[in-house]
Amino acid sequence: MKQKQWLLASRPEGIPERNHFELVEVPVPEWEPGKALVKTLYLGVAPVMLRYMRNETEFESPLPLGTLMPGRGVAQVLKSDCPTLPEGAIVQARLGWQEYALIDGSHRPAPFILPSDLPASHGIGTVSLTGITALVGLRDIGLVRTTDRILVSGAAGGVGSHVAEIAKLLGAVSVTGIAGGPEKCTELLTTMHYDQAIDYKNEDMDEALNKLFPEGIDLYFDNVGGPLLDNVLGRLQRRARIVICGAISEYLKAKEDQHRFINLQNLGRQDAKMEGFFVFDYEAQYPEDIALLAQWVRKGQLNPVEDISKGIETLPDALGDLYFGRNTGVRMVHVGDPVQR
């Protein structure tokens, strides 16, 4: 029996395209003792994958050309003798861009079982690392408060699509999101429950921020970096917090072309803080966080926004969509359906 895999064919200098990958057919792996054979149902894409392809990360092993593209996804356990990966379970794990995989508990974060009563696709986003990222960023890093005037960049993206609802569930009252184009801004206000939306493609950012935050910003959840982050640094309220989740505006730039900040000293003047975080470091609290996120979904308080294409063949295009800003919500690919048992 054969399966499809995507291999890394060349290292992109700009936005990843299909010619940077090679689609091959290889045998489905045979089950081995101490392992779980799983069938891939969904695969997610994330901006950081470009850095994997360029060997620019310290938390991933070097990725030689001709090897399987890494990536996490949702899978069904077909055969296993692993106590933590029982047969039939739907799990979130590091699978790679392929239709079947052999996994075990050695990867970090380790595979984890998803709630059986929710759609499997939610295991890419809301009840998985994307939802956990939004939750940890707001609760543990941002220390969100009821009185906070909150601003979110990249608000229509995977993490950003969760921030407004989670912030309000944690007690926030007003959340403003930044996105590109009228359609995305409409989604912010309707589907994602932001209170105000700023269209950075069609509005003057300074005018919009002056109008919506005349007294300054208390909490900024940043997915973009660059000049926008610098602008916000100049508008901080006393003891404001900036959560650094991503910097997609800088990922395609050479180091010498990246933004040079002029407002950093405002952190000291305002007794504010700016802190980044790596969601893998919070693995110990995944079970509690997933249970909380799942509870919110069941109650209709947290509404997943998913952007799904069908077929493993669409993975390179799905990744490229992140850099072109074509996605709304969590971008993922539906690879296969579970085996009926």
**CB-based contact 276:223 (threshold 8 Å):** no
Q: With residue 29 as reference, give the H or E element that holds it.
A: none
Closest C-alpha to 75, from 46, 96, 52 = 96
CB 199 within 8 A of CB 181: yes
- Write out the chain's pLDDT in tens, 341 residues: 999 999 999 999 889 999 999 999 999 999 999 999 999 999 999 988 888 888 876 666 678 999 999 999 999 999 999 999 999 999 999 999 999 999 998 887 899 999 999 999 999 999 999 999 999 999 999 999 999 999 999 999 999 999 999 999 999 999 999 999 999 999 999 999 999 999 999 999 999 999 999 999 999 999 999 999 999 999 999 999 999 999 888 777 788 888 999 999 999 999 999 999 999 999 999 999 999 999 999 999 999 999 999 999 999 999 999 999 899 999 999 999 999 87
Residues 52 and 166 in one domain: no
Q: Return the bridge partners of 25, or none.
A: 4
Q: Is the peptide bond before 27 cis (omega within 30 degrees of 0)?
A: no
Tokens standing for residue 290: 């997933």
In a domain, 174, yes or no: yes
Q: Are residues 139 and 256 in the same domain?
A: yes
Q: How many domains does the chain have?
A: 2
Residue 159's domain comprises: 129-279
Distances (CA, A) of 131 to 8, 42, 157, 165: 28, 16, 12, 11
Q: 296 in a domain, yes or no?
A: no
Residue 150 dihedral angles phi and psi, to the nearest 5°: -110, 140
Domain match, 271 and 150 both? yes
* pTM summary value: 0.94
CATH number of the domain that residue 68 is part of:
3.90.180.10
Crossing angle of helices 286-298 and 129-136, in 10° steps, is 100
The CATH number of residue 240's host domain is 3.40.50.720
Angstrom CA distances, 106 to 69, 93, 209, 245, stand at 18, 11, 46, 26
Rounded CA gap, 166 and 133, in Å?
11
SS3 56: coil
